[in-house]
Structures are given as C-alpha cells and as structure tokens.
C-alpha cells in the first residue's frame, strides 16, 4: 500500500512539473520584456479556436496575485479581444498563455502613458495583486 501511495504521489508531481516549468520560462521572458521596454508576441488560450493572429503586447508589469497566480499587465496592440482586434490596456493570466516570444517593436504613445500611470493591481474595486515582481 505504501508503494502505491508513493508512486501515485510521484506521478502526480511529474504530471504537474511541466506547466510549472513553462510558467517559470514565461515569467522570465515577460520580466525581461518589462524591464527592457520590449514587445512580446503571445498566443492566449482561446486564440487558436478563434483563428486569431498572435497578440502583440507591450509588457508593463508582471505580478503575483492574491490567489498565487501570475499576471501580466500591458498594452495590447494586436489580437482578438471579445471577438475584435483593437488596442487596449489588458491583464493576462499566465496559466492562459500558450506561447510567448520577444519581438522587435516599440511602445506607442498611449502605451507609454498607461505604463507611466502604473497599475495598482485592481480592476475597479477588485484588488487582486499581492506583489509586483517586475516592471
């Protein structure tokens, strides 16, 4: 019985390791982009099913939520949002990002304004960010 519990725990640990490693790699790339004022191309979880182009995002902040989930705050310049392609300030959950690549690009004027204003970790009265990891 003890062997079965140990092997089950080991299998569960291995099963959950790849997403954690992927999230760590994603965090490193997004923090690099935030700290150097770079643009990333991301594919978000619903994009392939909607035939969306990869999103282009100016990364402003990477943060840890009160729930332990990692988030990215930035300015999206391309990609589907509610079925439309438009520029806007956005919050992304790391566990919904399928891929990320740093690309050549510059922050536009509106993105720079939003970044300078900063983000307090709230959407309306819902404040859910525990700690900013990089910006």
**DSSP-based three-state secondary structure for 87:** coil
- Give me the chain's average pLDDT, please: 82
Confidence at 23, pLDDT banded by 50, 70, 90: low
C-alpha to C-alpha distances, 52 to 73, 105, 107, nearest whole angstrom: 20, 20, 22
Confidence at 51, pLDDT banded by 50, 70, 90: confident
Could you tell me which of 62, 59, 2 has the C-alpha nearest to residue 33? 59
- Range in 11-15, 38-42, 50-54, 108-112 the model is least confident about: 11-15
Per-residue pLDDT tens digits for 100-128: 999 999 999 999 999 999 999 998 899 99
**pTM strictly above 0.75:** yes
């Amino acid at each position: 019985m003890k062997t079965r519990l140990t092997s089950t725990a080991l299998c569960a640990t291995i099963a959950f390791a790849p997403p954690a490693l992927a999230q760590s790699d994603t965090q490193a790339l997004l923090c690099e982009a935030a700290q150097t004022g770079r643009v990333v191309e991301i594919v978000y979880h619903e994009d392939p099913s909607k035939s969306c182009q990869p999103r282009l995002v100016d990364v402003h902040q990477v943060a840890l939520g009160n729930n332990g989930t990692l988030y990215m705050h930035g300015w999206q310049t391309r990609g589907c949002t509610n079925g439309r392609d438009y520029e806007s300030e956005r919050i992304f959950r790391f566990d919904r990002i399928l891929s990320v690549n740093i690309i050549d690009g510059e922050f536009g004027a509106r993105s720079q304004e939003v970044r300078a204003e900063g983000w307090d970790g709230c959407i309306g009265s819902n404040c859910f960010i525990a700690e900013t990891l990089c910006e």
